Amino acid sequence: MAPVEPRTVAAIVPAAGSGERLGAGVPKAMAPLGGQPILAHAVRALVAEPRLGLLVLAAPDGLEEQMAGVAAAVAGGVPVVAVTGGATRVESVRAALEVVPESFEVVLVHDAARCLVPVEVVAAVVDAVLAGAPAVVPGQPVVDTIRELSEQGGSRTVDRSRLRAVQTPQGFPADILRRAHASGDPRATDDAGLVEALGLPVTLVTGHPRAFKVTTALDLVLAEALVAGQEA
Ligand code: CTP
Ligand code: MG
């Protein structure tokens, strides 16, 4: 029998956004996908990682209990806590981080909207943090040719072979993520950016096309097809 892995990983799931671009009429995490809320898919993807021992959701004000119920129903016994999210994603993550007990060594931050991430990506992020990286993000090559605008109104092509589109889960040693959020550099748009602002390196691991973020109605069409097993 394989040894039982200690559950040293806590996952924070920012799910407090309104989902304006999706326009589902409900907060995006509660929008249905294959008959279940997007949040339920995201939670199932995370708890497939056996080292996960706690899930903390940041929910929209007033939806904490409902979302905790949705998550707990598919969490396979992993404890679920819901807190009230903030006005921005960074604030939502900070609110969730406050209730993560000190005993958890590793903290993952995973967008509810990246609800179909394969467990291999989650495991690769945890492994890289446990190997000593202060910040780990999954990345995917950029498929579009990218042009950068100049101040003069022109533009130039950027070498896309050196670019990576960042996905989640992002992973951190818990103490480093706490320090990063305490410093709260306003230029950072995600958690890895906050760690980077401390002067620490960010490690990339290989992401996955299925870790895409459901942002618009078009993304939901793709997600529905994947859930229905109609993978191209
Ligand atoms: N999020 C959050 N708190 C916020 C804003 C966003 O927890 N104040 C979460 C979202 O719920 C989502 C993730 O951060 O899981 C990524 O954000 P995004 O895809 O932009 O979701 P929304 O902000 O809900 O969508 P939109 O920007 O279209 O309104
Ligand atoms: Mg948003």
Q: What SS3 state is found at 71?
A: helix
Other CB atoms within 10 Å distance of the CB of residue 14: 28
Amino acid in position 169: P
d(CA 170, CA 167) in angstroms, rounded, equals 7
Helix, strand counts (H, E) of the chain: 7, 12
Amino acid in position 227: V
Residues with CB under 5 A from ligand 2 (ion): 17
CB 201 within 8 A of CB 134: yes
Closest C-alpha among 134, 142, 117 to residue 192: 134
> Which tens digit of pLDDT belongs to each residue from 144-166?
999 999 999 999 999 999 999 99
Token readout for 183 is 């410093």
> Which tens digit of pLDDT belongs to each residue from 81-119?
999 999 999 999 999 999 999 999 999 999 999 999 999
pLDDT at 219: 98
Q: Measured from the CB, is residue 181 less than 6 Å from ligand 1?
A: no
> Which tens digit of pLDDT belongs to each residue from 119-136?
999 999 999 999 999 999
Q: Measured from the CB, is residue 14 less than 6 Å from ligand 1?
A: yes
Q: Measured from the CB, is residue 213 less than 6 Å from ligand 1?
A: yes
**Ligand 2 center–CA 108 separation, angstroms:** 19
Band the pLDDT of 2: cuts 50, 70, 90: low
**Ligand 2 center–CA 88 separation, angstroms:** 8
Token readout for 206 is 């290989």
Candidate from 26, 89, 97, 214 with most ligand 1 atoms within 8 A of CB, to mutate: 89
Band the pLDDT of 185: cuts 50, 70, 90: confident
Q: Residues, the chain, total?
A: 232
Rounded to two decimals, the pTM is 0.96
Kindly state the average pLDDT of the residues 180-196. 92
> Which tens digit of pLDDT belongs to each residue from 54-88?
999 999 999 999 999 999 999 999 999 999 999 99
